[in-house]
Amino acid sequence: MNERIIALIDCNSFYCSCERLFRPDLMNRPVGVLSNNDGCFVSRTNELKRLGVAMGAPYFQVKNICDKNNVAVFSANFSLYTNMSDRVMNTLFEFAPSIEIYSVDEAFLDLTGLDEGSIESYCRNIKKTVEQNTGIPVCVGIARTKVLAKLANRIAKKDESTKGVFSTLKKENLEHALSKSEIGDVWGIGRQSNIKFKILGIKTAKQLRDYQNSYLIQKQFTKVGRMIQDELREISCFPISDEVPKKKEIMSSRTFGSPVFEKSSLRESLASYAGLACEKLRKQNSVCQEVEIYIRTNPFKEIPQYVKSISITLESATCDTRKIIKEAFTLLDEIFVSGYEYKKAAIKLSKIQDKDEYQISLFGKNDSQEDLILMNLMDKINARDGDETLKVAACGTNKKAWFMKQTLKSPRYVTGWSELLKI
DNA sequence: TCTGGGGTCCTAGGACCC
DNA sequence: TCTGGGGTCCTAGGACCC
């Protein structure tokens, strides 16, 4: 018998809630936060969802609805969100010996061993404390496995009678949750699998749990599908892990504010993204041995299209921004074709290894102490004085066309001295 | 005019080895 | 006429997540 108890704490409309924190006047107004470049909605409050604005909806397509209904729309302000996320997580650490931060706005807590009779009130207290300490509203799902905790959390969010906490530890609650949840609502089952399940006649989570032919499930939905089925049966397959794994690849990409034609603009953007990616690489104390770049035109526009990526394996692994930029430029020379209207560029670092353990190259030029000291210094200054205070000159200096548009951005309430809230 | 960014895991199939 | 068998490693592509 599985005695594990897992709680999933998930912030409500996280980005929107962060914006509301500093704007109490927005408490009952619909609020939405846009992706980079003010492209699509990536966070919506319930009021906005009720207006029919879908997740990922392009802003320009629903702008009318927003204007008519007095919707407060924001550009994404990621430094604010990560800062608030840290505060939420720090509060959660007080409540469990083991916690897995799953994403910016959710965490699994291992509550195994706590008295089952009082687990719900314990979680209500977590909810209350997080809201008191940070101002961010959260919901809690309690279950024996992660997949079920996800389902429970969904119900806690949707069903107001739960007051934000729902547990499937009791049998009748579990049956209720499973029969009420559509198969596509189950964590790990996306669009493609949804279609395949429907063909098998499986429409609810309950039907998947009770489906006898597990061999067929594994055959059609891989090992992962089989594990999801087991988790619905309260058999634990996905452990909680409190160690933060190092990234195996690091990507940095942006859609441009305006399209660009010149190779020089692509070079600047790639240099800039390389800077961001390498900073992340150094932060986790790694080096990389493969660089890939990617450029493309705007697929939504009826113009001649061009999409191309190319990668190179380096002779020696590195975390030096300048070397990565050099490689990126060489790669760009190979795939750039003039005449196209470019809309996006990306860089990806892979074959990532530990800085202290990687194989030194016999032939390539390895990072020297001086290189590392310089990079380290640059990171320190940028951490203190703001991103890209110090950067490689190849990134360009003036605000150019490829810079992203963020016309609706809120102030840096918690990360910039000059933008603190004035009362 | 206007459509995001960053990840992970799994499998099949090819290359290669003895 | 008749052309082995088994294993590992790597990669591309698909699916999914927030």
Q: What is the pLDDT of residues A216-226, one digit of tens each?
A: 999 999 999 99
**Of A78, A104, A82, nearest to A406 (Cα)?**
A78
Task: Report the nearest residue to nucleotide C17, CA vs C1'.
Answer: A188
Residue A318, CB, strand B, below 7 Å: no
Q: Check pLDDT > 90 for residue A270.
A: yes
Q: What's the confidence (pLDDT) of residue A253?
A: 95
Residue A280, CB, strand B, below 7 Å: yes
**Whole-angstrom distance, CA of residue A413 vs CA of residue A79:** 9
Residue A270, CB, strand B, below 7 Å: no
Q: Cα separations (Å) of A334 from A14, A44, A233, A266?
A: 42, 42, 53, 13
Across chain A, which distance is largest between two alpha carbons, in Å?
68
Contact A91, A130 (CB under 8 A): yes
Structural domain boundaries of chain A?
A: 250-395
Rg (CA), chain A: 24
Calculate the angstrom distance between C1' of C5 and CA of A374: 55
pLDDT band with cut points at 50, 70 and 90 for residue A400 = confident
Q: What's the confidence (pLDDT) of residue A43?
A: 97
pLDDT band with cut points at 50, 70 and 90 for residue A399 = low
**Whole-angstrom distance, CA of residue A301 vs CA of residue A271:** 26
Calculate the angstrom distance between C1' of C3 and CA of A171: 62
Mean pLDDT, residues A194-211: 97
Q: What's the confidence (pLDDT) of residue A1?
A: 61
Q: Check pLDDT > 90 for residue A203.
A: yes
- For the stretch A337-388, pLDDT in tens is 999 999 999 999 999 999 887 777 776 678 888 989 999 999 998 888 877 8
Calculate the angstrom distance between C1' of C1 and CA of A291: 54
Mean pLDDT, residues A64-80: 96
Contact A72, A59 (CB under 8 A): no
Residue A171, CB, strand B, below 7 Å: no
Nucleotide nearest A245, CA–C1', reads B8
Nucleotide nearest A405, CA–C1', reads B2
Calculate the angstrom distance between C1' of C5 and CA of A188: 38
Q: What's the confidence (pLDDT) of residue A349?
A: 96
Calculate the angstrom distance between C1' of C17 and CA of A103: 10
**Whole-angstrom distance, CA of residue A10 vs CA of residue A156:** 10
Q: What's the confidence (pLDDT) of residue A232?
A: 98
Close Cβ partners of A211 (under 8 Å, ≥ 6 residues apart): A200, A202, A217, A229
Q: What is the mean pLDDT of chain A?
A: 93
In CATH terms, the fold of domain A250-395 is Dna Ligase; domain 1 (3.30.1490)
**Of A247, A314, A323, A325, nearest to A284 (Cα)?**
A247
pTM: 0.94
- For the stretch A146-185, pLDDT in tens is 999 999 999 999 999 999 999 999 999 999 999 999 999 9
Torsion of CA A228, A233, A237, A240, to 10 degrees: 100
Q: Check pLDDT > 80 for residue A22.
A: yes
Calculate the angstrom distance between C1' of C7 and CA of A184: 39
Strand pairing category for A106-110 and A6-11: antiparallel
Which residues 219-258 of chain A have a CB under 7 Å from nucleic chain B? 222-224, 245, 247-255
